[in-house]
Homo-oligomer: A and B are copies of this chain.
Amino acid sequence: MTVPDKVAIESWFKELQDQICASISALDGTPFMEDAWTRQEGGGGRSRILAGGAMLAKAGVNFSAVYGKTPEKILQALKLEQSDFYATGISIVMHPVNPWCPIIHMNTRYFQMSNGIAWFGGGIDLTPHYIIPEQAAFFHSQIKKVCDQHHPAYYNEFKRWADEYFYISHRQETRGIGGIFFDHLKGDKDLSMLQTFEFVKDVGASFAPIYTHLLKENHSKPYGENEQAWQMLRRGRYVEFNLVYDKGTKFGLDTNGRTESILMSLPPIAHWEYNKKVEEGSMEMFTLNHLKKEINWIS
């Protein structure tokens, strides 16, 4: 059996959503609210949002499983004939209150077509407002550990992919310190589809321990107006990335997806300041100087 059971994948993603919401909610002390929605053409999802929490200003954990005729945009991109599709995944973005806590994003997805083509994709990346080298090392080590358990080449390959993907070209900056990004894992190389599913599960399962650790480390650090102003500008960059470059966002908006679920990734508040200057030697400058591709965060 080369293609895993989509029912098993879907229920695992749902369970992951439950687990992550439970961990985050317990730490923050604030419940997620849920919106269940259906898609006219087939399927639906459940969007879960936590807003105005003690540690999290806005956190979204979305699950969806949709199916029907494959959207034209996908067929064109893949040069395929019309066929039905099924797609399921979870998508997470969390914007913390404290500027010393990083923004985090994770997505895992499975896509299958009636012609037999199927793949997994996903990624996890961290966007600290202030880059703290030890925490960057911690984040990348954790991700590398997950990758290494499945394939010796995955971390390097998918880390490079994240550096390319999470790049704000008009700012010549990476969005944050990257992480991993992968797509179209079809079980046709080293790992079978079932093994790939195990990899995706482990990436998903790493989210809650990694992010609760980072929140605990930082959420009670003192901060003032300067740090908050910087956080607001960095959130502005996050908006720029998501609306200008992010493929998931573009695809969702183009194909008539549920706008409120797609745009839950945007921060509650963001600022833009014309030609903001950053002082030499400041933490802000240190961060800007490290928003680069190809940094080895672990060593």
Contacts and interface: CB of A to CB of B under 8 A. Distances in A.
Interface in A244-287: 244, 250, 253, 259-260, 262-264, 266-275
Nearest to A266: B272
Interface string A221-248: 0000000000010001001100110000
A122 interface: no
B35 A275 contact: yes
A127 B209 CA distance: 45
Nearest to A172: B259
B274 A49 contact: yes
21 contacts: A49-B275, A51-B273, A51-B274, A58-B274, A169-B253, A170-B259, A236-B266, A239-B243, A239-B270, A243-B244, A244-B250, A260-B274, A263-B272, A264-B274, A266-B272, A267-B272, A268-B271, A268-B272, A269-B269, A269-B270, A270-B272
Contacts of A267: 272
A114 B163 CA distance: 40
Nearest to A49: B274
A228 to B, nearest CB: 12
A123 interface: no
Interface string A23-42: 00000000000010000000
A259 B58 contact: no
A271 B269 contact: yes
Given A243-B239, A243-B244, A269-B269, A274 B170 contact: no
Given A266-B272, A268-B271, A269-B270, 16 more contacts: A49-B274, A49-B275, A51-B273, A58-B274, A170-B253, A171-B259, A236-B266, A240-B243, A240-B263, A243-B243, A244-B244, A244-B250, A244-B253, A260-B275, A269-B271, A270-B272
